[in-house]
Structures are given as C-alpha cells and as structure tokens.
Structure 1
Amino acid sequence: MVRAAVVPAIGAPLEVTDIELPEPGPGQVRVRLAAAGVCHSDLSLSDGTMNVPLPAVLGHEGAGTVVAVGDGVAHVAPGDPVVLNWAPSCGSCHLCALGEVWLCVNALSGSGEVYARRADDGTDLYPGLNVAAFAEETVVPASCVLPMPAGIPLTDAAVLGCAVLTGYGAVHHSAKVRPGETMAVFGVGGVGLATLQSARIAGAERIIAVDVSPEKEELARRAGATDFLLASGTTPREIRGLTDKQGVDVAVECAGRAVSIRAAWDSTRRGGRTTVVGIGGKDQQVAFNGLELFHWGRTLSGCVFGNSNPSEDIPVLAEHVRSGRLDLDSLVTERITLEQIPEAFGNMIAGKGGRALVVF
C-alpha cells in the first residue's frame, strides 16, 4: 500500500488515503516518486473545468526512481531516475503523423482506465492525466516515463514534466521568440516563471511581467523580467508606453482568463503574436471585432503543453540546467506534503507564489 491524494468527486475535498497498486504488467513501469509539482491543471481537474473519470489520483508533473518494470520494457530498469511524461503521443494518429505530437488524440487514453484501488473499501481509482503523481508510488505505461538526463537533481526535475516544458515551448515552439524582440508574460505562477526564464534564454530584449499580485515582482525579476506591472485596465497602455508606443512583439498569457487574454492581445504590436497557454473555463469568453482582426494583423494561437515533444525537449532543457541558464529551483516557492495540496490549490486561486512541490 502507498499513500495518495484522491479527488472523490468534482468540487469535493482531496482525501489522503492508502491505495493498493498492482505489480507492473507487460509494458508498465512502477515508479517511486521523489517529488510532484502542483499544477493549475490539477486544480482544473478537481473543480470540473477539465473532465477525467473520478474518483482519481491527481498529479501529472513528477520525477522519481523506477522500482520495477513489466515484460517488454527495455528503455528503463529498476534504479533508474525518470521524469514522468503525462501526455505520451501514440505516434500513429493523424496529428502525430503531421508531427504535432502535442495534439495526439490518444495521449490521455490511459486516464480512462482503472489503475489502483482504495485500500479501505476497494473503490476503483483512475489516474488523473495518466500518471497519478500525487502518490508515494505509481504504476504507469512505459511511454509515460523518460530517462532522467545526467546532472539534474531528482527532486528539481519534477517541474520539467509540465511547467518548464510548457513555458519553454510557448516561447521557443509556439511564439518562436527571436533575439532582440520584446515580450510580455501575463501570469507569474509556475508556468509564467518558466516562460520568463525561457524568454531570457531566447534573447528577448525587454521582458515585461504582468500579475495581479505585487508580491510576484521579486520572483518575476529573478526569472528574467526587465519590468513588472500590476494587472489593471490600463495594462496594455502601460506596455505600449514601455515599447515606444508600439506594443510588444510577443505576449504569452498564462492565466487562462478572458480579461488577461484580451489584455495580452491589446498589448501586442501590429503584426505581433499572442500565445495563450492558460487553461480557461467555458465561461471565459473573449470577443474580437472583424475590423480589428484585419487592421492589427496579429496572430492569436492556443498552445497545448508548450507544443512540445518531451522526448526531444527534455534533453535540451537539461543542457540549459547544467549550463546555469535555467534554474529549476527558483520556480519552486514552497515544498509541501500531500496533506498540504488543498492549501496549495488555495494559493493558486489567490494568485500567491510560484510552483508548490510535493516532496516525498
């Protein structure tokens, strides 16, 4: 038996309880978690913004050590450090064939399969976003584990699995930021901090961070922001004032809110690019009129998981970590236990801190 954080129903409090895991079957791997990041997507699963079968063990951003492998698993072995890959591409669907593996239609198919049971009453449990990282140990398909690159601390590596891939990919794959460009980042949580660091790596000249909380300024500047603005109705005007009245070349929205998506769009120069990373609810409606779409010539794009390919991008990120260009530890503002996850959810809702990390 292992301890895990279970969400029993939409909107219900998380329950930390014992669960029973099976031994890994063919093509499966059992992993002992070292750490798991608390992501806004976990909150979106618990409140029903995103749908998964329930009850479920949440957590999708994690790293740990292989305990056992099933038949047919050759790329990892017991004792190996690994990063969890919560959205493995199938390689055979239409979108994978186009090379858009981050949009794979089968990536989350494992979330619909029972993978464990509650120890107290035998209730079937599902893995939220495939990997169920809010647990001391988990059993996942072999495609959900990637070998850990050398030279990366195991606990710090947990944030590679979502926050860093998403932020880095938003900058380098979706927005394709070029050296010397100006950039605004809306929302300075875990993904926002990774986006700021990635903008610095890309060579952006002016990096403007925007958040509702003044306490985020220090975090933002440490991550690479050259300027910090408190979000308000005048934010687009302030950003234009910092960019010779032009607006930024690129805006990345990390909050998933209609007001900040619209502000990001309004802050972008004519012909600029706006990338939306944040996951908003269906109630977050954003309106544009036909004339402004024509006149401004801007590009507005969604960004799923940073448009990343984890098997290719994690080795690149690891090199940035080893060189000192990417600081994983600075993304984490609190280290917590399983029991403290609800408090971390509350901090996200209140706009406090960066990434909370469950350390086992």
Structure 2
Amino acid sequence: MSRTVRGAVIDAIGGKWKVEDLDLAEPGPGEVRIKVMASGLCHSDDHLVTGDIPNALPMVGGHEGAGIVDAVGPGVRRLAVGDHVATAYLPACGRCRWCSQGMQYICDTGAGMENGFGLEGNPRFSRASGQPIGAMQRLGTFADHLVTDESQAVKIDDDLPFDIACLVSCGVATGWGAAVNAAHVRPRETAMIVGAGGVGMNAVQGAHHAGAAYVVAVDPVDFKREQAMKLGATHAFASIAEAMPFVESVTNGQGADSAVITVGVVDGALIAEAFSAVRKEGRVALVSIGQNEPGIPISPLEIVTYAKTIRGVLFGNCNPTSDIPALLDYYKAGLLKLDELITARYTIDQINEAYVDMHAGKNLRGVLIHEH
C-alpha cells in the first residue's frame, strides 16, 4: 500500500526543483509517517543541485522539518499518532561505538545515507512509473508527508510553531553547536564567525550565549551583517582582512581565540585565512563544505609551532535526541532567537524562487510552509 503525496524533487546536478505527485510507502517496522507542516530551506539541500554533496539522484529534498505523526508502523515505542515532532538528520541507533560515547552526530547509521533509502535499503518515495526516489537524509521534508525511522523524529511541545521548530532540526543546532561544542567558545574570548547566513547566524548566537566578550561576524552582505548585530554579534565586517585590525586591537595582536567557518561553499584559501586569524592554541571549526582542489595552503610549521587546531563540525556535534529539545527550551525561555531568523515563507511551488533569494543574500532562512 502507498499514498500519494506532493514533493519537490531534484533529478540532476544543475537542474531545477520539480514539484510533482509521488507515491509514499506505508511505515514499516520501527517507522513513522509524518505530516510535514514546515521545512527549512537549508543550503545543504541546495548542495544536491550544485553537486557539492555527492548523492544519488533523483532525490526528494529537505531535512529540516517539523510536523505531526499521523501513522506508526509495528514496534514503534517512543512516538504515537498525534505527537508533534521535529526531524533529526540521522537515525541515531543508540548502540554503536559513537552513540554509546554521546556522539550521535556520527552514528554508524550514516552509512549509505547518500542513497536516501530506508535503513534496510528500500526507497520510501517513488514515481507512478515505479522509479525509486531517495530522500535527503532519509527524510525528504520538501514533501508534505514522509516516512522515516522513529529515531529521526524528536517529540516536541505541542505549543511550538512548526515554522520555528523546523529550524532547530539543522541550521540552528549546527551553528549553535559549532560555536559551543566544536570551537569551545569560552567567557571573555574573541570569536570570529565567517559567514552569517542561516547557520552562521546561530553560531553568532552560540558564541554570545557562551560568554564571548567579542563576537565578530564576517560576511560580505550588508543585510546579514546588520542582522548579526541584532543576534549577538558585537562587531561585523565584510571580510576577514577588514576584521583583523579590530581583532588584533582587542587581543594584544594575538588573533581571535576561535573562528567558525559557516559560508555556503568554502575553499582552501578561506580556511587558511581563518587559520591565520586565530592565536596560538587557536581553534578553527569548519562547518562549510567545498571542493578539495587546490588544497588548503597552511604551513605545517604554523600548525606545530603555534599548536593550532582545525576540526570538522557535523550537525554542530550535537545529539539530536537531547539537543533539539534543549534548544527549543532555550527559545521558550527567551535565550535563543528563532522568529528573527525567518526572512520569508514560501509555498512548495515557490521553491526555486526561494533558492534564488538565498543565493542573492536576501534570506537568513527561508521556510517552506506545506498546505494541507
């Protein structure tokens, strides 16, 4: 049995999102069906279009979602029909080496994620012709319904707006965690956030929350610099080069304590520039992805003699089952700004327009509102 749903599919690198009717399988053992109410329009989904993240296509986009459980498969224990949920980017198993050490963000269930099929290897979406279609992060929140493992749905409070809750499924947790968990921003420090978009703006909030004396936002877009100042940045500049005189003035010429790189697509030269901007024992947290060529021009001597570090960041190095509810609690307590992140709301038929706006620097975060 299956049901017909409406979703946005990308068929080929360089193509456009195509909105069409799709067949959705019924939930199997341990799975739930979610009536998706809202989905963040994350840059990661655009990487399917640009090819910056290798995935098997065609694929239903979207991984940053919130909605209502409207069906459950056999053996589901944590969720029930009617529960409000936010999606989690990985079906953390709770048993592997990584989960057992509190690192759900690198759970072994991530293997095979690029195909977008269920954990047992079968698709959840298909076309009427029978063609199987994957789902971004085994979710596919650009469809108005989806089926996923129950571990990829985190129960949330019923009074939370769906358009707010969906943001914490990826962009907010990734940015906040990049500053707090990966860059380890501490009180009185100087933190530099390179890229003030949907992820970077939350790194700004995370650094502010962690007690940084100076939160320096770097972005070439005037609008994003202005918004960063409203969300916790103490200073904002168009480039690292423009920021460095100020950073050096407040650090005795030593450089920033940490740098978080959250630009849409990164290259080696920018990573090297951020690396040079941090002090001895400085920390660079890399959230952005990009191409490997021509490499990262960093001197091994600088790494060793200044004892600096670069580390990768995945989902803010957060644990979805605990950190998604925690961040939403921060929001309800007035400690995390989420309403201010939403620049525009779109219908499914406006999805290509939404990504044009993102590339034009008009949005901090666009949100797709599904019609039911």
Q: Same fold (TM over 0.5)?
A: yes
Q: Which moved more, 1:195-204 or 1:99-108?
A: 99-108
User: Alignment partner of 1:252: what SS?
Assistant: strand
* Separation in structure 2 between the aligned mates of residue 299 and residue 178 of structure 1, nearest angstrom: 16
How far did residue 52 of structure 1 move? 1.9
Select which of 98, 103, 106 maps to 1:100: 103
Measure how far apart 1:98 and its partner are. Answer: 4.1
Pairing 1:199–2:202 present: no
Contact 1:5 1:17 in 2 (8 A): yes
TM-score by length of 1: 0.94
Which position in structure 2 is the counterpart of 1:295? 305
Cross-structure match for 1:262 = 272
Cross-structure match for 1:357: 367
**Percent of aligned pairs sharing the same letter:** 38
Amino acid at match of 2:126: R
Equivalent position SS for 1:155: helix
Point out the more displaced range, 341-350 or 20-29. Answer: 341-350
Any gaps of 5 or more consecutive residues in structure 1?
none
| Larger mean Cα displacement after TM superposition, 346-355 or 28-37 | 346-355
Aligned residue number for residue 70 of structure 2: 67
Q: Displacement, 1:287?
A: 1.4
Q: 1:170 maps to what in 2?
A: 178
322, 325, 328: which is aligned to 1:312?
A: 322
Q: Does 1:82 align with 2:85?
A: yes
Distance in 1 between residues matched to 2:150 and 2:337, nearest whole Å: 28
Contact 2:62 2:141 in 1 (8 A): yes
Normalised by the length of structure 2, the TM-score is 0.91
Tell me if structure 2 keeps the 8 A contact 1:28–1:140: yes
Report the Cα offset of residue 310 of structure 1: 0.7
Find the residue that maps to 1:312 and give its secondary structure.
Answer: helix
Counterparts in 2 of 1:204 and 1:232: CA distance versus 1, 3 Å: closer
Structure 2 partner of 1:28: 31
Aligned residue number for residue 180 of structure 1: 188
SS in 1 for 2:46: helix
Aligned to 2:216: 208
| SS, match of residue 215 in structure 1 | helix
Asked if structure 2 preserves the Cα contact closer than 8 Å seen for 1:65 and 1:79, the reply is yes
> 1:223 & 1:31 partners in 2: Cα distance?
32
| Coordinate RMSD, CA, aligned | 1.9
Structure 2 partner of 1:224? 232
Deviation of 1:238 after TM superposition, in Å, equals 4.6
Query: Structure 2 residue aligned with 1:9, among 7, 12, 33?
Result: 12
> Offset of 1:349 from its aligned partner?
3.2
For the residue of structure 1 that corresponds to 2:80, the secondary structure is coil
Contact 2:214 2:233 in 1 (8 A): yes
> What number of residue pairs does the alignment pair up?
359
Provide the residue aligned with 1:49 in structure 2.
52
Match of 1:114 in 2: 123
